[in-house]
Amino acid sequence: MPKIKIDGEIKLIGDRQEFASGFYKRQLVLICDKETRYPQELPIDFLKEKSDALEDIKSGDTVSIDVDLNGREYNGRYFPSLNGWRVELKHSGAAAENPVDETQAEPADDNLPF
């Protein structure tokens, strides 16, 4: 099965879905080519223990995701799917939205001897 690396910004991360068989997964939506006229929003599934890779990331983060491209047939129709197995954080979206103002990080000390 082909292995692909996809870069983009996380639009959303879904909740864990559990099934009666014991199988579970999480899905995220990755925005690729955001600066282009037609950005792509790709749903990527993280199956079973691979879904743990989504714990340390959030919407707005810029990431690089390793995926497997899969396909299957159902009732004479064919469907592709992307299954993620590794996420590398490139840039945290929270840092860009809430920059730290270092001038206010430490209180002013008016009791200096000079």
More confident residue, 9 or 93: 9
d(CA 57, CA 50): 13
Closest CA to 26 of 62, 56, 54: 54
Report the share of the chain in percent with pLDDT over 70.
81
The CATH-assigned architecture of domain 3-93 is Beta Barrel (2.40)
Closest CA to 68 of 47, 89, 48, 41: 47
- Work out the average pLDDT over 2-6: 87
Closest CA to 84 of 107, 53, 40: 53
The predicted structure's pLDDT at residue 104:
47
- pLDDT over threshold 50, residue 51: yes
The model's pLDDT over 52-108, given as tens digits with 9 standing for 90+, comes to 889 889 999 999 999 999 999 999 999 999 999 999 998 887 654 444 444 444 555
All structural domains of the chain with their residue ranges: 3-93
Average pLDDT taken over every residue of the chain: 84
Q: How far is CA 23 from the centre of its chain?
A: 21
- Work out the average pLDDT over 41-58: 92
* Greatest CA separation for the chain: 83
Sign of CA dihedral 96, 35, 56, 15: positive
Report the residue count for the chain: 114
